[in-house]
Amino acid sequence: MIIFFINLLVTILLGAMIFFMAVVSPSVFATLSSNASSKFLRTIFPRMFLFGFMIAVLSLILSYISGNILNSILLIVVAISFIVNRNYLTPKINDFRDKELEGDKKASSSFKYMHLVSVLLFVLNFIILIGIIINNYFNYNL
């Protein structure tokens, strides 16, 4: 029964990530001005990463209780990734973006690099979460 709740939480998180990538981000850039989209994204990204962190930690606790060490380790990676994205990368990205808009050429390359790292962590989390669901399916349904 506990595996059901882990899968439910992981699926909710995956759904939120897909919704963000497929609906929220494209809609923001298509409908809001550059200034408004910047303000909106600076508000929503930290909240989305915090949401991901909280769901990952809750899933981690359930996974640990169930005795699944592999899932627990993977969820530690996911949780750390979300909190690093929220507390370290996002403020740096915002700072470099502001400096880039002021004309700082060095900040432009730093912004691109930090943004790429953030996106790669997001994609890594996505892949890990799918792996957890697949792992749970093969270990608990066959």
pLDDT one-digit tens code per residue, 65-77 = 999 999 999 999 9
| Residue whose C-alpha is closest to residue 110's, from 122, 125, 95, 121 | 95
1 band by pLDDT with thresholds 50, 70 and 90: confident
Name 50's Cβ contacts closer than 8 Å, sequence gap at least 6. Answer: 82, 86
pLDDT of 112 strictly over 70: yes
Q: Is the pTM of this model over 0.85?
A: yes
- Above pLDDT 90, what percent of the chain? 83
Span 47-62, average pLDDT: 97
Per-residue pLDDT at 35: 87
Q: Give the Cα separation of 7 and 9 in Å (integer).
A: 5
pLDDT of 142 strictly over 80: no
141 band by pLDDT with thresholds 50, 70 and 90: low
139 band by pLDDT with thresholds 50, 70 and 90: confident
